Chain A
Amino acid sequence: MGSGNARLMKKHDFPGRLIVVEGIDGSGKSTQLKLLYRHLATLDYTVFLSEWNSSPLVKSTTSLGKKKKLLTPTSFSLIHATDFADRFVNHIEPLLKAGVIVLADRYAFTAFARDAARGVDRDWVRNIYEFACLPDAAFYFKVPLAVSVDRILTGRQKLKYYEAGMDVGLSSNPVESFKLFQKRILEEYDLMTGEFGFTVMDGSLPIEEQQERMRASVHDMLAGFAGLRKGPHQEALR
Chain B
Amino acid sequence: MTETTSFEAPGRLGSGRPRFYGQGLPYRQIGDLNGKLFVIEGPDRVGRSTQARLLSEWLESEGHAVMSTGFRRSGLTSAGLAQARMARNMHRITTSLFYATDFADRLENQIIPAMKAGFICLSDRYIYTTFARDTVRGADPEWLRRVYGFALVPDVVLYLRVEVDDLVSRVISGGGFDFWESGMDAGLADNLYDSFRAYQTRIIEQLDRMAEEYGFVTIDASRSVPEVFADLKTEIARII
What residues of chain A have their CB less than 8 Å away from a CB belonging to chain B?
7, 57-58, 60-61, 64-65, 68, 70-75, 78-79, 81-82, 85-86, 89-90, 118-121, 123-124, 127-128, 130-131, 168
User: In the complex, what residues of B have CB within 8 A of residue A68's CB?
Assistant: 75
Instruction: Determine chain A's interface SS by DSSP, over half rule.
Output: helix
Check A78–B104 contact: CB distance below 8 A: yes
Check A121–B23 contact: CB distance below 8 A: yes
- The interface on chain B, measured as residues whose beta carbon lies within 8 A of the other chain's beta carbons, has a size of 31
Given A64-B80, A120-B27, A127-B146, output 8 extra A-B contacts at Cβ < 8 Å.
A7-B146, A61-B77, A61-B80, A61-B81, A68-B75, A82-B101, A85-B97, A128-B97
How far in angstroms is the closest Cβ of chain A from B30? Answer: 12
User: In the complex, what residues of B have CB within 8 A of residue A124's CB?
Assistant: 22-23, 146, 149-150
> Contacts A7-B146, A85-B94; is A72 near B108 (CB within 8 Å)?
yes
What residues of chain B have their CB less than 8 Å away from a CB belonging to chain A?
22-23, 25-28, 75-77, 79-81, 83-84, 90-91, 93-94, 97-98, 100-101, 104-105, 108-109, 143, 146-147, 149-150
| Residue of chain B at shortest CB distance from A57 | B84
How far in angstroms is the closest Cβ of chain B from A120? Answer: 7
User: In the complex, what residues of A have CB within 8 A of residue B79's CB?
Assistant: 60-61, 64
Check A65–B94 contact: CB distance below 8 A: no
6 A–B pairs (Cβ distance < 8 Å), ordered by A: A61-B81, A75-B105, A120-B26, A124-B149, A128-B147, A168-B27
CA distance A168 to B27 in the complex (A): 9
User: In the complex, what residues of A have CB within 8 A of residue B98's CB?
Assistant: 57-58, 82
Per a CB cutoff under 8 Å, which of A72, A121, A123 touches B104? Answer: A72
| Residue of chain A at shortest CB distance from B143 | A130
User: In the complex, what residues of B have CB within 8 A of residue A121's CB?
Assistant: 23, 26, 149
User: In the complex, what residues of B have CB within 8 A of residue A61's CB?
Assistant: 76-77, 79-81, 101
Per a CB cutoff under 8 Å, which of A70, A85, A130, A131 touches B109? Answer: A70
CA distance A227 to B143 in the complex (A): 32
> Contacts A61-B76, A82-B98, A127-B146; is A119 near B104 (CB within 8 Å)?
no
Check A118–B93 contact: CB distance below 8 A: no
Per a CB cutoff under 8 Å, which of A7, A86, A89, A120 touches B143? Answer: A7
Check A81–B108 contact: CB distance below 8 A: no
| Residue of chain B at shortest CB distance from A72 | B108
Check B143–A82 contact: CB distance below 8 A: no
The 3 closest A-B pairs by CB, nearest first: A119-B27, A61-B80, A121-B23
CA distance A67 to B160 in the complex (A): 39
CA distance A7 to B26 in the complex (A): 20
> Contacts A72-B109, A119-B27; is A82 near B97 (CB within 8 Å)?
yes
User: In the complex, what residues of B have CB within 8 A of residue A123's CB?
Assistant: 23
> Contacts A7-B146, A60-B83, A61-B79; is A78 near B100 (CB within 8 Å)?
yes
> Contacts A60-B80, A60-B83, A86-B94; is A79 near B101 (CB within 8 Å)?
yes
User: In the complex, what residues of A have CB within 8 A of residue B147's CB?
Assistant: 127-128
User: In the complex, what residues of A have CB within 8 A of residue B100's CB?
Assistant: 78, 82
| Residue of chain B at shortest CB distance from A77 | B104
Per a CB cutoff under 8 Å, which of A57, A64, A119, A128 touches B76? Answer: A64
User: In the complex, what residues of A have CB within 8 A of residue B84's CB?
Assistant: 57-58
| Residue of chain B at shortest CB distance from A70 | B76
